[in-house]
Amino acid sequence: MTDNEKWDRGVAAVRKEFAALGPALTRRLMVFAAAIKSRKVALHSAAEEAGAGAICGECRGECCHRGKNHVTVVDLLVYLCDGRELFTPCFERDICPYLAESGCIMDPEYRPYNCITFICERIEDGLEPSRKELFYGFEQELRTLYEEFERLFDNSFRYGLMRTMERSLPGGPAPILRGAALDGP
């Protein structure tokens, strides 16, 4: 199965399961999604204050050369909660499939955890000590929110949508969104 097929099947499965969620659970996910986006915006802003735009432009995104497994089910759920049109990755290139000539194809609040929390030494060195502490505080809050999604659906999403699909293929199409959250209000 190609990466495009895994991506398409994974997106279709999550969309279908998301659409079947009850209204109470959907509202709860929307609250989590808003919290995730606010932490990502804060992380991005801190990195920008440290000169990330210029630094990343100069090195041409060396940290972005791989990443096909960075987009997770949680990231996809945030898009779905917002009713946003999903981007189309390009798996045929030898760089990150979410990277275009102008940079990441995702707005900062929708970027994967690995991408939005990573800062190289040059960016980290540009952060004032109080901003560095704030950055890593937001990173921990974001990690906790991602873990809450995993607990809610009794599934590990940290390895990415593509890997989640690979894990479900051998035994047949197992539900991605599962767990006690689906049984209750």
Domain assignment present for residue 54? The answer is: yes
Q: How many domains does the chain have?
A: 1
Domain assignment present for residue 176? The answer is: no
Print the SS3 string covering the chain: CCHHHHHHHHHHHHHHHHHCCCHHHHHHHHHHHHHHHHHHHHHHHHHHHCCHHHHHHHHCCHHHCCCCCCCCHHHHHHHHHHCCCCCCCCCCCCCCCCEECCEECCCHHHCCHHHHHCCCHHHHHHCCHHHHHHHHHHHHHHHHHHHHHHHHHCCCCCCHHHHHHHHHCCCCCCCCCCCHHHCCC
Task: Band the pLDDT of 34: cuts 50, 70, 90.
Answer: very high
Domain assignment present for residue 183? The answer is: no
Domain assignment present for residue 185? The answer is: no
Which has more confidence, 89 or 99? 89
pLDDT tens, residue by residue, 131-146? 899 999 999 999 999 9
Least confident range from 13-22, 43-52, 65-74, 174-183: namely 174-183
Residue 182 pLDDT greater than 80, yes or no: no
pLDDT tens, residue by residue, 40-65? 999 999 888 888 878 777 776 677 76
Host domain of residue 163: 3-168
Residue 27 pLDDT greater than 90, yes or no: yes
Question: pTM for the complete prediction?
Answer: 0.88
